[in-house]
Amino acid sequence: MIDLEVPKKFVPLVKQAAGLADEVFRPISRKYDLAEHEYPRELDLMSALIDGLSDSGASQGAGARTTSGGGAKEEPAGVGAGTKAKSGKGNKNGSNLSSVLSIMETCRGDVGLTLSIPRQGLGNAAIAAVANDEQKERYGTKWAAMAITEPDTGSDSGAIRTTATKDGDEYVLNGEKIFVTSGERAELVVVWATLDRSLGKQAIKSFVVSRDNPGLKLVRLEHKLGIRASDTAAFTLDNCRVPAQDLLGDPEIRIEGGFGGAMQTFDNTRPLVAAMAVGLARASLDLATELLGKAGVKPDPTAPLHSQSHAAARLLQMEADYESAYLLTLRAAWMADNGKPNSMQASMAKAKAGRTCVDIALQCVELCGASGYAETELLEKWARDSKILDIFEGTQQIQLLVVARRQLELSSSELK
Q: What's 7's DSSP letter?
A: P
Q: How confident is the model at residue 159 (pLDDT cuts 50, 70, 90)?
A: confident
Sequence-separated (6 or more) residues with CB below 8 Å from residue 106: 17, 20, 21, 25, 113, 114, 117, 279
Residue 2 has pLDDT above 80, yes or no: no
- Lowest-confidence segment of 88-97, 195-204, 296-305, 313-322 by average pLDDT: 88-97
Q: pLDDT digit string (tens) for 245-259?
A: 999 988 887 655 555
Provide mean pLDDT across the span 327-336.
95
Mean pLDDT of the chain: 87
Residue 401 has pLDDT above 60, yes or no: yes
- Residue 130's nearest CA partner among 264, 267, 271 is 264
Sequence-separated (6 or more) residues with CB below 8 Å from residue 375: 30, 381
- Residue 335's nearest CA partner among 96, 123, 141 is 96
Q: How confident is the model at residue 61 (pLDDT cuts 50, 70, 90)?
A: very low
Q: How confident is the model at residue 137 (pLDDT cuts 50, 70, 90)?
A: very high
What is the structure's pLDDT at 45? 75
- Residue 147's nearest CA partner among 71, 221, 65 is 65
* Per-domain residue ranges of the chain: 136-248, 260-408
Query: Is 380 in the active site?
Result: no
Say how many C-beta atoms besides its own lie within 10 A of residue 239's C-beta: 11
Question: From the candidates 75, 176, 393, 414, which is the catalytic residue?
Answer: 393
- Lowest-confidence segment of 106-110, 116-120, 230-234, 383-387 by average pLDDT: 116-120
Within its chain, how far is the Cα of 80 from the centroid?
13
Provide mean pLDDT across the span 115-132.
85
3-state secondary structure of 209: strand
User: Looking at domain 136-248, which of 2.70.98.60, 3.40.50.20, 2.40.110.10, 3.40.50.720 is its CATH number?
Assistant: 2.40.110.10
Following DSSP, what letter does each residue of 278-322 receive, concatenated? HHHHHHHHHHHHHHHHHTT----TTS-GGGS-HHHHHHHHHHHHH
What is the structure's pLDDT at 60? 44
CA distances from 303 to 52, 271, 274, 312 (A): 44, 33, 30, 11
- Lowest-confidence segment of 5-9, 116-120, 221-225 by average pLDDT: 116-120
3-state secondary structure of 105: helix
- Lowest-confidence segment of 6-15, 52-61, 282-291, 300-309 by average pLDDT: 52-61
What is the structure's pLDDT at 89? 62
| Apex 207 CA angle, 258 and 215, nearest 5 | 140
Following DSSP, what letter does each residue of 213-246 receive, concatenated? -TTEEEEEE---SS-TTS-EEEEEEEEEEEEGGG
Say how many C-beta atoms besides its own lie within 10 A of residue 34's C-beta: 12
Q: How confident is the model at residue 46 (pLDDT cuts 50, 70, 90)?
A: confident
One-letter identity of residue 189: V
| Apex 380 CA angle, 21 and 353, nearest 5 | 65
What is the structure's pLDDT at 303? 96
* Fold type of domain 260-408: Butyryl-CoA Dehydrogenase, subunit A; domain 3 (1.20.140)
The percentage of the chain sitting over the pLDDT mark of 70, rounded to a whole number, equals 86
Adjacent-strand bridge partners of 181 = 232
Provide mean pLDDT across the span 364-369.
98
As a whole number of angstroms, the distance between CA 288 and CA 186 comes to 35
- Residue 96's nearest CA partner among 275, 277, 337 is 337
The model carries a pTM of 0.89
Q: pLDDT digit string (tens) for 84-96?
A: 444 446 788 998 9
As a whole number of angstroms, the distance between CA 72 and CA 159 comes to 10
